[in-house]
Chain A
Amino acid sequence: MSRFTTVSAVLFGAALLSTAQAAPLMERNLNSQDAMAAYERMMSSCGPNLNNVTVVFVDRAGQVVLQARANGAALHNLDLARRKAYTGRTFRTKSIEWRDRTTGTQPAAGQRMLAEVIPLGGGSPIMIGEEVIGGVGVSGAQGGQPGDQACSDAGAAAVVAAAR
């Protein structure tokens, strides 16, 4: 047993040494200026007045980068928008699609028991190709969950456009 462990450790160490050891991991992340620009470009997809829509952008780590609470927002809207953004980020999918694949007796239903996620439309991942760099969440747009989803999708697309 101990001999096996030693051999494993040596092999593992050799593998580490053969690659670029001591180099930090480089990750792309959501730029707050892009989030700001994207927020201001969401207007047309989110109803007649963006002041009536609550929006949260989270970064790659799920941390809030920008939050805008609507005039007259309900008490739950800001946290809800954040959780939608988090859900879009962590599952790298639209939250409305994640909602539909975690219902009832489906194998993934247990994912709903995770903290912070929310099975409601209005959350979108921000993708640069196959890489997720953040998420957008929307609460209070016109048209219920499909309306929220269209609005958050527009926000994510606007970030990608701003990032180029």
Chain B
Amino acid sequence: MQSPFKVLVGSAAVVAVGLGAGVFATSVSLAQPLTVKTISLQQAITVVKAAIAECSKDGSVISITVVDRDGEVRFSVRANGANPHNFELSRRKAYTARTFRSPSADFIAKSAPDKDLAGQRMLKDVIPLGGGIPIMIGEDAIGAVGISGAKGGQPREEVCARAGIAAIQAQLS
């Protein structure tokens, strides 16, 4: 009987050869940098203005953040008279929507205390509150927008966020 060690070494060699063949066989992508889409500053400004316009309809003054593909702030505005937490909250909603690629409101139920995913709430920067919407191109999240401080609360913040994204929808392809 072969020793486990020999079997392991043999397998590793096969895997290595296979991996090498695979890498070299795909000559098209060899040595190419990874290219990904992310939301531009101009797009982010357009999103913010459209979202603010929607939220202004009922007199809401919102704090709003657009994060890019990496979850980093691209553009953000703090509301006049915002509570101390609002601005940071808008960023965390956007980050949550971006990293899970779904509305931050979805994260509320998915990570509820009785769920298997409850532990996700211990991640840094995420927040189980509605008001964050991802900016998608197909299945690809290129950014997200988060809002805090709307008069109608989380549902209204989602409406404003979606209105913001709608303003650049034609460019999302």
Write the residues of chain A forming the contact surface with B, with a CB cutoff of 8 angstroms.
Answer: 31-33, 35-36, 51, 59, 63-71, 78
B residues adjacent to A (C-beta < 8 A) = 40-42, 44-45, 68, 72-80, 87
Inter-chain contacts of A69 with B (CB < 8 A)? 41, 68, 72-75
B81 CB to nearest chain A CB (Å): 9
Chosen A-B contacts, 30 in total, with CB atoms closer than 8 Å, are A32-B80, A51-B40, A51-B41, A59-B78, A63-B78, A63-B87, A64-B76, A64-B78, A65-B77, A65-B78, A66-B76, A66-B77, A66-B78, A67-B73, A67-B76, A68-B41, A68-B44, A68-B75, A69-B41, A69-B68, A69-B72, A69-B73, A69-B74, A69-B75, A70-B41, A71-B40, A71-B41, A71-B42, A78-B72, A78-B73
CA distance A71 to B42 in the complex (A): 9
Can you name the residue of chain B whose Cβ is closest to the Cβ of A51?
B41
Contacts of B68 in A (CB 8 A): 69
Q: How far is the CB of A62 from chain B (nearest CB, A)?
A: 12
The 9 closest A-B pairs by CB, nearest first: A51-B41, A65-B78, A66-B77, A68-B75, A32-B80, A71-B41, A67-B76, A71-B40, A69-B74
Known contacts A35-B77, A70-B41; is-contact A64 B72 (Cβ 8 Å): no
Tell me, in angstroms, the Cα distance from A71 to B74 when the chains sit together: 8
Kindly state the separation between the CA atoms of A67 and B68 in the bound complex, as whole angstroms: 13
Asked if residues A32 and B73 are in contact (CB atoms below 8 Å), the reply is no
A62, B45: Cα distance in complex, Å: 23
B40 touches A32 (CB 8 A): no
Q: Which residue of A lies closest to B74 (CB)?
A: A69
Cα–Cα, bound, A67→B44 (Å): 11
Q: CA separation between A64 and B76, bound complex, in Å?
A: 9
- The CA of A36 and the CA of B56, in the complex, are separated in Å by 15
In chain B, what residue has the closest Cβ to A39?
A: B45
The chain A residue with its CB closest to the CB of B82 is A32
Identify the closest chain B residue to A66 (Cβ): B77
A32 touches B78 (CB 8 A): yes
Q: 13 new A-B pairs (CB below 8 Å) besides A63-B87, A64-B78? A: A32-B78, A32-B79, A35-B77, A51-B41, A64-B76, A66-B77, A68-B41, A68-B74, A68-B75, A69-B68, A70-B41, A71-B40, A78-B72
Q: Which residue of A lies closest to B68 (CB)?
A: A69
Interface centre among B41, B44, B72, B80 (most CB of A within 10 A): B41
Complex interface: chain B residues within 8 A of A71 (CB):
40-42
Task: Kindly name the residue among B42, B72, B76 whose own CB sees the greatest number of chain A CB atoms within 10 A.
Answer: B76
Closest to B87 in A: A64
User: How near does chain B come to A18, taking the closest CB pair, in angstroms?
Assistant: 32
CA distance A33 to B63 in the complex (A): 12
The CA of A66 and the CA of B77, in the complex, are separated in Å by 4
Contact of B80 among A33, A63, A70, A78 (CB under 8 A): A33
User: Which A residues are in CB contact (< 8 Å) with B41?
Assistant: 51, 68-71
Closest B residue to A65 by CB, please name it: B78
